[in-house]
Amino acid sequence: MIVGLRQRYGAWLAFAAGLPVPLAFSPFDSYLLLPLLLACLLWLIDDVTPRVAAWRGWLFGAGAFLTGTYWLYVSIHVFGEAPLVLALLLMAALMAFMACYSALACYVAARYAPAGALRWLAAFPACWVLAEWLRGWFLSGFPWLSLGYSTTSSMLAGYIPLGGIFAASAAVAVSAGALRTLAGGDIRERVVAVGLLAATWAFGWWSQQVPWTDAAEDTLTVSIVQGAIPQDRKWLPEELVPTMRLYRDLTRQHWDSDLVIWPEAAIPALRVSLVDYYAKIALEGEAYDTEIVTGTIEYDPVTNSYYNGVIALRGSQNVYHKRHLVPFGEYFPVPGFVREWLRLRNLPYSDYTSGGDDQRPLQVAGQKIAPSICYEDVFGNEQRLMLPEATLLVNVSNDAWFGTSIAPHQHMQIARARAIETGRYLLRATNTGVSAVIAPDGRIEQ
């Protein structure tokens, strides 16, 4: 009966199994659900051809990205003012493309490993992690909903400082394979599965107890300023002066801090038009020995290029230009005529230039800061470009683009993973959403 159900309704079951995947991630954090859902997918690709396995893998991924990235609608249509049809088409295109990676993993596992413990415990985890790795860089990359991010509050987070997010993803996939083996293997295979499952989680727990980096001896007092300006108001001309006053007044309350951090593009104007404003605040902070780091909009008149940047107000050389312009955040991966339409609508974040890979940490308040902007912290390999030199991570963001959806919470979880991965504190400043001080073990301290 159960086998008949799989044969007759396998496609629908695969799609249904993918829909709850976001529940394993923040803000829900039901991380134990993810191995169960993947074990269900493994059951659904048993005893079928590789093509059917790929189709069911695609449906699983489509369900996951449908519910896990629905918030793109808020960014594209509500705040970006793109037509509803265009917004839905872009969402559907992203969902369809992202689902191809889970389809690829299922196809290769079904094609080259027979149904059984070898596929469940080895082939499938390896194929899934390789597909995630490919998804993280191909065509700019979009490593959202990678399995490893669900582990930040679990014992499996212990794999992150050892092998990055992919090691944690592998641990989740192996756990899923072990569950599938327990349900469908013979006695010997079940014994192996129990041992492997226990060892996987026990090793993760052990790794969490090990201080993989040495704590800095000096202390730093930090204040994070969050303007909480709604996205539909942020870029209005009449909001510029009130925003400047707001950040100035909020900052004056924290002159007892060594470092004050403002979020991404805190003041919605080009830095060249804010020289006097920044200089006055920097001078005032210097009297209290307080340094200020803020997100800015940079313009290079020589190349006529715009950059999403981070600067330290004290020190003209302390400038960082964002390297990775993320789809649907700062530019839209669409044909040229659509980009031209966006440009004519004067939509922000649609025409930035990326910074170079040779940028070094900012020298601020006795620290070497590795900055990241918005969804740049999704790309762990790029964060590591400034290591081991950097002593502190700073992420400035504007999660107002995604309203009250789950996206800011998902993004916060990714930031926690970066702190665990690098063994460093991460200071996260957002215009709206979740600003926080994240400890090297991923705990949110403030």
> What letter does residue 270 receive in the DSSP assignment?
B
Tokens 């400082």 -> residue: 161
User: Is-contact 446 237, C-beta < 8 A?
Assistant: no
Catalytic residue among 40, 127, 189, 264: 264
In whole angstroms, what is the distance from residue 42 CA to residue 124 CA? 8
Q: Is 322 a catalytic site residue?
A: yes
What pairing do the DSSP bridges indicate for beta strands 305-312 and 291-300?
antiparallel
Catalytic residue among 106, 298, 374, 376: 374
In whole angstroms, what is the distance from residue 130 CA to residue 176 CA? 16
In whole angstroms, what is the distance from residue 379 CA to residue 136 CA? 7
Catalytic residue among 40, 127, 291, 322: 322
> What letter does residue 442 receive in the DSSP assignment?
S
> What letter does residue 293 receive in the DSSP assignment?
E
User: Is-contact 129 115, C-beta < 8 A?
Assistant: no
In whole angstroms, what is the distance from residue 428 CA to residue 406 CA? 17
| Residue count (the chain) | 446
What pairing do the DSSP bridges indicate for beta strands 259-261 and 305-312?
unpaired
In whole angstroms, what is the distance from residue 271 CA to residue 165 CA? 35
User: Is-contact 6 43, C-beta < 8 A?
Assistant: yes
The reply to whether omega before 388 is within 30° of 0 (cis) is yes
> What letter does residue 216 receive in the DSSP assignment?
P
In whole angstroms, what is the distance from residue 270 CA to residue 281 CA? 16
Single out the residue of 387, 229, 72, 169 nearest to residue 372, CA to CA. Answer: 387
In whole angstroms, what is the distance from residue 277 CA to residue 274 CA? 5
Catalytic center residues: 264, 322, 374
